[in-house]
Amino acid sequence: MFTFLKNYFLDLFDLFYPNICLACSQKLLKGEEIICFRCESELPQTGNWLEADSGLVKRFWGRVPLQGAATLYHFHKGNEVQHLLHQLKYKGRQEIGEHLGKLFGNQLIQANSIIKDVDLIVPVPLHWKRLKVRGYNQCDFFARGLSLAMNVPWSSTALERTHENISQTKKKRYDRWGNVADIFSVCDAEQLKDKHILLVDDVVTTGSTSEACLQTILKTPGTKASFVAIASAR
Ligand SMILES: [Zn+2]
């Protein structure tokens, strides 16, 4: 009787406050969480974690030495991935980050990717001013999801962002390197020392911000680095 009543009230609650898929906005069915099964199978996965020299890895060639680099989805204007990232970043839906982190972490382990052999997961930090306005760093939740799936610790206290870098988008690609190179600094080298660090970001476009962050990490003795993001723009 109790179970019956519980289900009755849950169904009633669902009628007024339906859980919707945060990618396609359709109502979630029983057993679905955050993203519906259809979206989970149809969102455009890159599969680039299966290639040693993917286009993404090549984006970093000659710029920063990496063990591996991978992104879960392709990102383009107007697609469901952009919708997901927008909600994660600006609408307070942090659970998207953790969900995708778990999903991607499991993929990396199953694929026996080099990226699974990491010692510490580090999200790209937000500048404190940005953090104060938004209230959270969207990359922290992605890092936590990866950490849970991969059984590797994560830390948001090893690095800090010292500059906001607002003017960056107005500059030409070449100028950006100089502009971003010193926007991060290490605040706890002991956490990084002699480790394979997995840097995580939400979306990668030119790769210049993640490159700057990776270069900062690699200044610490004995470190190696890999990089993952939820999505990459082609
Ligand atoms: Zn959906």
- Written as tens digits, the pLDDT of the chain (234 aa) is 666 666 666 565 555 556 899 998 899 999 999 999 999 999 999 999 988 888 888 888 888 999 999 999 999 888 899 999 999 999 999 999 999 999 999 999 999 887 889 999 999 999 999 999 999 999 999 999 999 999 999 999 999 999 876 455 445 444 555 555 678 999 999 999 999 999 999 999 888 889 999 999 999 999 999 999 999 997
- DSSP string of the chain, one letter each residue: -HHHHHHHHHHHHHHHS--B-TTT-PBPPTT-BSB-HHHHHHS-B--GGG-TT-HHHHHHTTTS--S-EEEEEEE-TTSHHHHHHHHHHHS--THHHHHHHHHHHHHHHHTT-GGGS-SEEEEPPPBHHHHHHHSS-HHHHHHHHHHHHHT--B-SSSEEE----GGGGGS-HHHHHHHHTTSEEES-HHHHTT-EEEEEEEEESSSHHHHHHHHHHTTSTT-EEEEEEEEEE-
Domain boundaries, the chain: 1-42, 44-233
Whole-prediction pTM: 0.86
Residue 169's pLDDT is 42
Alpha carbon of 28 to ligand 1 centroid (Å): 8
Alpha carbon of 27 to ligand 1 centroid (Å): 8
Residue 91's pLDDT is 92
Residue 69's pLDDT is 94
Alpha carbon of 73 to ligand 1 centroid (Å): 15
Alpha carbon of 100 to ligand 1 centroid (Å): 14
Alpha carbon of 229 to ligand 1 centroid (Å): 21
Alpha carbon of 39 to ligand 1 centroid (Å): 4
Residue 172's pLDDT is 47
Query: Does the domain at residues 44-233 carry the CATH identifier 3.30.70.360?
Result: no
